[in-house]
């Protein structure tokens, strides 16, 4: 999964939306204003598969403006918190991976809504249940998994580590799952599926720790890349086998931090070569 994601990032990373969290929060702000100025208008933006199939395709996207809560204090607190968490995740993962994480949560939620639509025999009117609340929770859980000891201040004065808040939220969500009906259960699973997939496929969170990310960036800055190109115009060449990206475009090349000098190795020899001292 990691190699596949690396390849996808190299091919499509330039298309990633920068500062995606800001756009999401702007959507929440628009939704809150609509709820204040014209509450009845929000019913035209909810995620209703039955109405989507009738031609109201804008609902596939417009439901993201529905704020998870209509309390002004909650909305302000939520926007400040998730701006901080979302931008932190984007900094740690990079814009491409963060985009994949958020958009997969949105797509899974849409799929969940259509599953409910089929199970209920085409019932219309449950769209308001599918909001970005659990997608926001997936951001919080991801931050807690990567930075469990980071302290948040409840009410601005009570320090609490993220891991304890995440455990509390997980218990509350589990209660909602057990006590709720089929619609609630599907909405929870669909909206949090992106986190479940991420957690199961990346059980070793060490490479995502902020210290590791900083160390990686520092190492990349310290290592001087050769400006000269190799035969045929290749930019990378393995110091062991001599292969370049021209021999195989799927090859990955890395510099070894333990070798004394700028030695680059392909993926087959990065961990098996003899270090140059």
Give the global pTM: 0.69
For residues 246 and 119, membership in a common domain is answered with no
Task: Report the distance separating Cα 50 and Cα 182, nearest Å.
Answer: 18
Q: What is the CATH number of the domain that holds 130?
A: 1.20.1540.10
pLDDT for position 161:
87
Which of 136, 14, 120, 160 lies closest to 74, judged by CA?
136
- Domain of 249, in residue numbers: 223-266
Name the more confident of 238 and 134. Answer: 238
* Lowest-pLDDT range of 122-126, 175-179, 270-274: 122-126
Cβ-Cβ contacts under 8 Å for 153 (sequence gap 6 or more): 159, 160
Q: Do the domain assignments include residue 216?
A: no
Task: Report the distance separating Cα 226 and Cα 248, nearest Å.
Answer: 20
Which of 127, 5, 73, 133 lies closest to 141, judged by CA?
133
Task: Report the distance separating Cα 58 and Cα 52, nearest Å.
Answer: 8
Question: What is the rounded average pLDDT for all residues in the chain?
Answer: 81
DSSP state, 161?
Answer: E
For residues 130 and 235, membership in a common domain is answered with no
For residues 9 and 84, membership in a common domain is answered with yes
Task: Report the distance separating Cα 271 and Cα 206, nearest Å.
Answer: 18
Q: For residue range 79-112, what is the model confidence (pLDDT) as tens digits?
A: 888 888 888 888 888 889 899 999 999 999 999 9
pLDDT for position 223:
47
Q: Do the domain assignments include residue 256?
A: yes
Q: Do the domain assignments include residue 166?
A: yes
Q: For residue range 203-226, what is the model confidence (pLDDT) as tens digits?
A: 554 555 555 544 555 545 544 454
For residues 84 and 105, membership in a common domain is answered with yes
Residue with tokens 């909405």: 187
| Alpha-helix residue ranges (DSSP H) falling in the chain | 2-12, 20-37, 49-53, 59-62, 72-93, 95-119, 133-146, 162-179, 182-201, 210-222
Q: What percent of the chain has pLDDT over 70?
A: 86
Task: Report the distance separating Cα 261 and Cα 215, nearest Å.
Answer: 18
Query: How many domains does the chain contain in total?
Result: 2
Beta bridge partner(s), residue 244:
237
Within a 10 A sphere around the Cβ of 274, how many other Cβ atoms? 8
Q: Do the domain assignments include residue 241?
A: yes
């Amino acid at each position: 999964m990691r190699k596949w994601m690396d390849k996808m990032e190299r091919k499509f990373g330039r298309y990633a939306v920068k500062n995606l969290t800001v756009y999401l929060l702007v959507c929440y702000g628009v939704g809150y204003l609509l709820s204040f100025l014209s509450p009845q208008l929000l019913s035209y933006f909810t995620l209703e598969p039955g109405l989507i199939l009738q031609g109201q395709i804008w609902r596939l996207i417009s439901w993201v403006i529905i704020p998870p809560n209509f309390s002004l204090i909650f909305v302000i607190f939520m926007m400040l918190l998730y701006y901080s968490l979302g931008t932190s995740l984007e900094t740690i993962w990079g814009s491409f991976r963060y985009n994949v994480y958020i958009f997969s949560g949105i797509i899974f939620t849409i799929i969940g809504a259509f599953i409910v639509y089929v199970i209920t025999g085409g019932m219309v009117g449950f769209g308001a249940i599918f909001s970005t609340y659990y997608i926001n929770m997936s951001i919080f859980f991801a931050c807690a998994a990567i930075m469990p000891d980071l302290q948040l201040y409840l009410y601005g004065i009570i320090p609490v580590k993220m891991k304890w808040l995440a455990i509390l939220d997980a218990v509350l969500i589990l209660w909602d799952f057990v006590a709720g009906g089929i619609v609630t259960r599907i909405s929870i699973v669909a909206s949090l599926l992106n986190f479940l997939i991420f957690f199961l496929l990346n059980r070793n969170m060490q490479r995502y720790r902020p210290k590791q990310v900083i160390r990686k960036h520092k190492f990349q800055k310290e290592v001087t890349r050769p400006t000269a190109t190799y035969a045929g115009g290749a930019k990378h060449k393995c110091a062991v086998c001599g292969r370049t990206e021209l021999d195989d475009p799927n090859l990955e090349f890395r510099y070894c931090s333990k070798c004394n000098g700028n030695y680059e190795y392909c993926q087959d020899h990065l961990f098996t070569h003899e270090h140059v001292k």
